[in-house]
Structure formats: structure tokens, C-alpha cells
Structure 1
Amino acid sequence: MRQKLTALTFLMMTVLMVLSACGSAQQASGSESGSADENVNEEGSTDKINITYWYAWGDKIQENNENLVKMFNESQDRIHVTAEYQGTYDDLHAKTQAAFAAGNAPEVTQNEIASVGVFANNGMTESLTPFVEQDDIDMDDFIEGLMGNSYVNGDLYALPYLRSTPILYLNASMLEENGLDPAGPKTWAEFEEYAQALTVEEERVGITMPIDIWFFEAFVAQSGGQTMNDEGTEVTFQEEPGVEAVTFWKELEQAGYMKVPTGDEAGDQAMQDFVNGRSGMYLTSTAGLSNVLSIADEKGFEVNTTFMPANDDYGVPTGGANLVMTAGLDAEKQEAAWEFIKWMTSTEQTAYASEYTGYLPSRTSAVESEKMKALYEKTPQYRVAVDQLEYARPRPMAEAYPEITKVLRDEILRTIIEDVSPEDALNTAADKASKLLK
């Protein structure tokens, strides 16, 4: 009941703020499939089943979504999908919640993986278990490390689509110029050595890295910890692995080896520093690989990728989005939505999306396809995230986790830029988080 109250309170606030934005976003989406052409389907009707698909992020990711939807529409004459861009994951989630409350939600949308449980537990998405069983989908073909955020209370609510892990990007040309192995650091100690060697006062730093909770989850995992218990009832980030991670970041920043940008443009700043030679290393999602490789080629330097460095062991959270079906659809719309989700997550489309964007292929059959083998042979940087999945873990799906991460990020930033100990900052965040969980 407490979980439902939290989400529904947020939902009612969101409806008033965002409902008008839903309509304007739909009008401005610019999708190739803004209206369905009349066509005779296999039942002899002139009316196609029309469904809407909402997605997040622009650039290559937007192109990938629009391309796939166009391919789906051209692959058959019974269902027409209209693709609509909705901004960031936060924008997408808020608009979907508002549209659901207003009764005009898209039939298919993306859930950022940590939000799958929130949407399912509050009745906004449909269980996919009956559809998977009906079509005898081989669920073992989906890579195990990417399935942790697909099930809620034992039922399948989402299928992996554009999935990622953070990986370490390296300016290999710069590393070689400084006598460093372009394969990159393997441990935290080596990571610090690389950062020190690459730092030139007032010219560049070893790495520019914003305080991102996704990265924090990774560093905590590398020390054998996690940010919440398995039940999602208590936070654990204030324990020794969390303290060790923040202490390491603070030491790198104070030594001048790591730049910590802040504000809404922090991620963009980190990328700009890397591609413009103001930092030698860059930590971000594998989803950015295609774009970074293209920019590096234009600027004349070579990019390598490698695992995030290990402390006690390697460890990374997974990220990205799963596809979900909204609840309350009639049988015809459900069937159409399922056909689209099934097609989008099939082997061929998974391989296409991975090659086009850099996101992970979510099916073993895609990894082993000739298309992906050829890509990995030509551009081995794409293979790193796939191999790193051996050490992957799901993200927490507690209802309050999105709000907890904001508190946690603020407290970690406070210890980096102010004279606050990591222990005090994390304990403060844990106290605030406990109240949110209750």
C-alpha cells in the first residue's frame, strides 16, 4: 500500500504538469509513420491496427528507433506503428504516467530498467508471460545478465531492448604518447596511475567524470557491495564498499587527476573533454560508442574500450531500456503490441540496433550471428561490453530508488567538493533514504 501511495501521489502531480506536453510531443515527433495508410490486410479489412510507440533519446538512438519502426511497418500490412520521441527517460516516464492516467497512453513504450517494477506494481504495464508462453519464445536465448530487470513478482513484464553497461573509453593515441599500454588499466591502482600520467596541469586531466549513480553502483560492485539489499527494503551503499568508492573518487579529484563537472550538462562536458583531448579517459555507456568512434575518426585519434577496472573484482550494473506493453488494451491492440515487441526484440533486429548504436545485443543468437561476428572482427571495441556482461548485475527496482539516487548523488557531490567525509555523506544519504523507503 505504501508503494502504491507513493507512485499514485507522484502520478497525480505529474498529470497536471505534463499532460499538455504529451500532445505537443506527439505533434512534433516528426516520425515517418505519423499516419497509417489505408491498405487491405489479410482479413480483408481496409483498416490497419494502429498503435503508438514512445521512446527516449535522440541522435543515433532516435534514428535507430525510427528505422526499425519503418522496417516493421513495411514488413507486413496488418499493423501500423507510429513512433514518437519523448526526450530523456525521465521525460518519457512522466509523460507515460500522465497519459496512462488520462486514458491515452501509448500501446508500447520503453521503461528504463530500474523503473520496470514501478510501472508493473502500479498496474500500468501488462504481464508478457502469457504472450511468451503462447508463442513458445525461447527465453534462454536472452542473455542472462540482462534479464534481472525484466521480472516483477515472478512474472515477465519487459523484454530487453536497448541495453548497456558503462565501459571505459580510452584515447589510445594519447596513452601511447605517454608510454601507457593502450589496452588500458585493469585495476583501481592502475586506473590511478593512468590518470596521473595523463594529467597535465591546466591542459588536461586523466578523466572527466560526473557524479553518476550508475557509475557509483559499478564501483561499489567492484568492491563486493551493492547499493540496496536484495529485497529492496534497505539501502547498503553506506557500508564499506560504498565508502571505499567515494574515498577513491575524492582522492583522484583532490590530486587533480579527475575533473568532476556538475549541473545538467555534466555528461556533455565529460564527452567534450574526451573528444577534444582535455581528458585521456572517459567513462560512459556502451550506447555512445558509435558516436564517439565517429567523432574520434574526424578528429584523428584512436579510441579503445575496456572493462571498468576491478578492485576486489570486476562489476558493473546494466542499464538502458526494456520494452513494455501498457495495461488495459483490448485484445486486438494487445496482439498488435505484442507482435511489435516480439519483432523489435528478435535476433535480426537486436543485431541491427547493436551495430547501429553500440547498445548491447540482448540475445545470444544475435551475438553469434554472422553480422555481429563481422562487426566484432572489424571493430573489437563493440565486443567489450558483451564480454563484461559476465560481471553484470541488475539495478535496484525499489519504488523509492529514483528519488534515493538524487539524494545520494547530492551527498556524494558534497563530499567531493566540500570538506565532508565519505562516511558522513553516505550516512546522511542513508538516513534520508530510509525515510523515503518508509
Structure 2
Amino acid sequence: MHTSRSCRGSAGTPALSRRQLMGAGLLTAGTPLLSSCFGLGDTSGLVLEQPGGETPPEFEGRQRVVLWSSFTAHNAEVIQANIDAFHQEQDEIYCEVQIFEGYDGVESKLAASLQAKQVPDIAVLSDVVWNRFYLAEALEPLKGYFDDSFGTDSYDERFLAEGTVKDEIWWLPFARSTPLFYYNRDLFDAVGLPDRAPETYTEYAEWGRELSGIEYDGNTVAMRGYTGGDDWYFQGSVWAFGGAYSEGLDLKLTDDATIAALEYDRAFIHDDGSGYLAADPKGDFVSGVCATLLESTGSLSSIKDAAEFEFGCGFLPREVEIGVPTGGGGLSILTYASDTRKQAAWEVIKYLSSGQATVDWTVGSGYVPTTKTATESSEITALAEEDPNYQVAIDQLEIAQGPDIARRYVPETIVEAKDAIQSVYSAGEDAEKVLTRMEKELEPAIDRVREKYDQRVGE
């Protein structure tokens, strides 16, 4: 298990050429465009140019495929190793990986490139981004590409279903994850807490009041460091309290259960003193400043490498319901590529998602297995036996689910959610007031996408 937060891509600079980073034009994380109509609409048969780049002399004459990737640092090297192996195993296709800083970097550049009439052949899109490009009619339907050599049954059915709309596949699982509950065993033992994750958020709060404020190894310890830059975790706790961002496109932010989830966080931080808004929750956990962490499965190895204490992992707490969100990214083909480019892109995806490549990616990246080949491999079995925490990550998939519709199809939702949770985590604002404001701010954005959503997604 390697890398950092898999719900947003890795951080850091990869040990790859700067040319790859710059090949796609702009190297920028950017701010995602707040329009759900950043495609070109119904333009059947339109073919757009590839982004610029260079084909190495040894691959001259091959069909070039451009893959826009969100993976940096270690994961960039893992995927490039598989692409290098692909180049050695056949002599017709050359795949150039162009790297952007995280999922937001790919999203903003892809939105701009569509307007500039230029597209890559494959894009790594997050679980809350691909839907918007689907709504904009920019993605290629993939069901017809499968055959006897590589069928839909190659994938985990739960993950494959997340990329399926109206019985057509638009987004294939690749780098998928869920959050885990991480806890410092030494700190739990110091105050007599059980060696396990709390079963409910109520129990979590009770334990927080017992542990927070203790002095340990030179630190005054809190129970949890919160992140205000990612609402992924809040999506899960909302479900746990019986609430939702939305049902379809109908917002549920001011429902009592949704308010209860955010009020829980306000009380945990500001009434109990058990939590705080952290600049780097994972770093604080590793250094012993906080005793627990809600963090991606993809961080398991990096935490294991950095922590100088024994830690355990468990399922996320529940309350009145289960609240475990899936996250991470998948692969889509752009519909505006030529047929030749799209077929070559499919061969790249097939290679990355089958055989030893899918095993190497799963083991090397730290994401949970998305293909049956990876799940059933001896390497994954051995990894789970060696580290029970990794088995927790696999087992929790059984109760995980994809994000609410508003979070998928309305990009303003995540922006407004970050503002909302930061207001509560940092300033202790009233949860009902904050969520009422968030719902009011989102209503125009919902209205803008409703007709297109009903057409492309609704029954």
C-alpha cells in the first residue's frame, strides 16, 4: 500500500521527466470550472486533435495514445512501469502519459481543452468528476468494446456499476478507495480504551472526551484532526446519521438528519474539545498529535512507513445507518477522439486492467482491487494475510456506496460543502444555519443542470 490520499490523487513531484508534465500544455491544479455544460454538446462524428507531445524515436510509426493522469509521485511511477511493459509487449501503440496535479488538475484542463477543440484519448477522472463530462456528452460509451478476451465480468460488479448510466458504461474503475478509521493503539491503551474502532459516532464522542487533552510523548493529544479541504468524509457521516446531500437532485441538506451530522462535528470540536481543524491531519496522526484519523485506504502504507507506533484500522463508525463512501478515480475515453485513437485507447485500458498489470497497480499503488484478477491474486492474498489492516479495507467495500447525485453532477456542491464544513470546524458556526445557507446557494446550480440531468440520467 503506497501513496497519499487516493480520493484526490497523490501529492509530490514524480521521478519522471518534466516533458511529460508539460506535454499537455499547462501544469496546474486549477479550480474546477463551475459549469456542468463544459462539453461541446451533441456533435456526432466530431473529431478533435490530440494534445501536443513527442513520440520517442523507438516508437515512431505506432498509433499514439494520450492519457491524462492525476497520479503523481510514487503512483506515477507505478502506472508508467505498466505502460512501459505495454510498449514492450506489442509494437502498434505508443501511450504517452501526461501528468496533472490531482483530479482537479485533470478536470480543469480537460474542460479548457474541450473548449479549445483538443482532447486526450484517455482521462483519469474522479468519482465526482466523470459524471459531469458524461452529462456534457464528452465521454465514449464503452460497452461495445468488451469482447470474449476481456469482458465486463473482469471488474468488481459494485465498482463497475458506479460508472454505468442507463445500462451503458462510461467510466471504468481503476484507482478506487474508501476511508478507513485509523487509531493509535498506544494512545488508546494509555487511557484504557478498547483495541478497536468505535462502533458508533456516539461511542467515538464518548471516547474522545476520555482521551483528548492527555499528555503523551511530549504532545497534548486530541482525538481527531479534521480536514476542511475535502467533504468526502462528511458525505459518509451524513449517511451514518440518516441524512443525505440529495435524493436525485432534490437537496436534503436541511433535513434534521443531515443537520445532526454537522452538529455532531461542531460539538465534537467546540463543545468537547476532542477535535480541531488541521492543516495536515495525516501528519498530525503520524506525529502523535491526534489519536485517530479518517483517511483513505490508499494512505495505509505511507502511514505504516511513517508511524513509529502500532496502529489499527477499522470500519468507519455508524450511527443510525451505515456511512461508507467510495472514492478515487477511473478511466474514460473521450468521444471526440478518432475511431482509431479510441480503439488504441481501449487496448491501453484493457492492458492496465488485466493480467499482471492490474495486480502490480493494486499492490504498488495501495488502492483496493477493482478487478477479479487482482482480488484473486496470490499477491493480494499474501498482502491481506501479512497486514490485517489491508483486509479491513477490502472487507469494508461490502458496505460502501457511491456519492449522492448532487455531489456527482453539480460541481458547486463540493465547493459549497467545503465552505460549510470549514465554517463549522473552524469558527463553530451553527450547523443548521450553515446548511440552510449552503442549500440556498446551490439551488440555482441545481436548476441549471436539472433538464440535462433528466435527459441523460433520469428515467
In structure 2, list runs of 5 or more residues that go unmatched.
1-33, 41-49, 448-459
Aligned residues between the structures: 399
Whether the aligned pair in 2 keeps the contact of 1:36 and 1:50 (CA below 8 Å) is: no
Please tell me whether residue 182 in structure 1 is matched to residue 201 in structure 2: no
Instruction: Please report how far the alpha carbon of residue 341 of structure 1 lies from its aligned counterpart in structure 2 after TM superposition.
Output: 0.9
Residue in structure 2 matched with residue 252 of structure 1 by the alignment = 268
1 CA distance for matches of 2:287 and 2:82?
32
| Alpha-carbon displacement from aligned partner over 1:280-325 (angstroms, at most 9, x marks no partner) | 11111111112111112xxx21222111111123221111001011
Give the aligned residue type for 2:441: K
Give the aligned residue type for 1:199: S
Whether the aligned pair in 1 keeps the contact of 2:276 and 2:425 (CA below 8 Å) is: no
In structure 1, list runs of 5 or more residues that go unmatched.
12-21, 28-33, 40-45
1 CA distance for matches of 2:125 and 2:35?
18
Residues 13-32 of structure 1: matches in 2 within 5 Å? none
1 CA distance for matches of 2:310 and 2:378?
26
Whether the aligned pair in 2 keeps the contact of 1:150 and 1:159 (CA below 8 Å) is: yes
Residue in structure 1 matched with residue 97 of structure 2 by the alignment = 83
1 CA distance for matches of 2:335 and 2:321?
41
Residue in structure 2 matched with residue 218 of structure 1 by the alignment = 236
Whether the aligned pair in 2 keeps the contact of 1:164 and 1:287 (CA below 8 Å) is: yes
Taking every aligned residue pair, what percent have the same amino acid on both sides?
25
3-state SS, counterpart of residue 127 of structure 1: coil
Give the aligned residue type for 2:225: T
| Alpha-carbon displacement from aligned partner over 1:96-126 (angstroms, at most 9, x marks no partner) | 2222332332211111111222112212221
Residues 52-91 of structure 1: matches in 2 within 5 Å? 52-91=66-105
Residue number among 304, 307, 311 corresponding to 2:315 in the alignment: 307
Deviates further, 311-320 or 68-77: 68-77
Distance 1:145 1:238, change over 3 A: farther
Residue number among 49, 52, 58 corresponding to 1:38 in the alignment: 58
Distance 1:433 1:370, change over 3 A: same
| Alpha-carbon displacement from aligned partner over 1:326-355 (angstroms, at most 9, x marks no partner) | 112222211110011111122533332222
2 CA distance for matches of 1:57 and 1:214?
19
Please tell me whether residue 7 in structure 1 is matched to residue 27 in structure 2: no
Please tell me whether residue 402 in structure 1 is matched to residue 418 in structure 2: no
3-state SS, counterpart of residue 393 of structure 1: coil
Give the aligned residue type for 2:364: Y
Whether the aligned pair in 1 keeps the contact of 2:178 and 2:393 (CA below 8 Å) is: yes
Residue in structure 1 matched with residue 296 of structure 2 by the alignment = 285
Q: What is the root-mean-square deviation in Å for CA atoms of aligned residues? A: 2.5
2 CA distance for matches of 1:147 and 1:242?
28
| Alpha-carbon displacement from aligned partner over 1:11-53 (angstroms, at most 9, x marks no partner) | 9xxxxxxxxxx98xx87xxxxxx633436xxxxxx71111111
Please tell me whether residue 203 in structure 1 is matched to residue 217 in structure 2: no
Instruction: Please report how far the alpha carbon of residue 396 of structure 1 lies from its aligned counterpart in structure 2 after TM superposition.
Output: 3.3
Please tell me whether residue 191 in structure 1 is matched to residue 220 in structure 2: no
Whether the aligned pair in 1 keeps the contact of 2:119 and 2:337 (CA below 8 Å) is: no
1 CA distance for matches of 2:35 and 2:286?
42
Question: When you count helix as a share of all residues, which structure comes out higher?
Answer: 1
Whether the aligned pair in 2 keeps the contact of 1:347 and 1:363 (CA below 8 Å) is: no
Residues 15-414 of structure 1: matches in 2 within 5 Å? 35-38=55-58, 47-132=61-146, 134-135=147-148, 137-200=150-213, 203-211=220-228, 212-229=230-247, 231=248, 233-254=249-270, 255-261=272-278, 266=279, 269-296=280-307, 300-346=308-354, 348-398=356-406, 401-414=410-423
1 CA distance for matches of 2:57 and 2:203?
58
Whether the aligned pair in 2 keeps the contact of 1:290 and 1:356 (CA below 8 Å) is: no
| Alpha-carbon displacement from aligned partner over 1:361-411 (angstroms, at most 9, x marks no partner) | 012342222111111001121121211112111123557522122112212
1 CA distance for matches of 2:400 and 2:276?
27
Instruction: Please report how far the alpha carbon of residue 87 of structure 1 lies from its aligned counterpart in structure 2 after TM superposition.
Output: 0.4
Whether the aligned pair in 2 keeps the contact of 1:286 and 1:358 (CA below 8 Å) is: yes
Instruction: Please report how far the alpha carbon of residue 414 of structure 1 lies from its aligned counterpart in structure 2 after TM superposition.
Output: 2.1
Whether the aligned pair in 1 keeps the contact of 2:231 and 2:418 (CA below 8 Å) is: yes
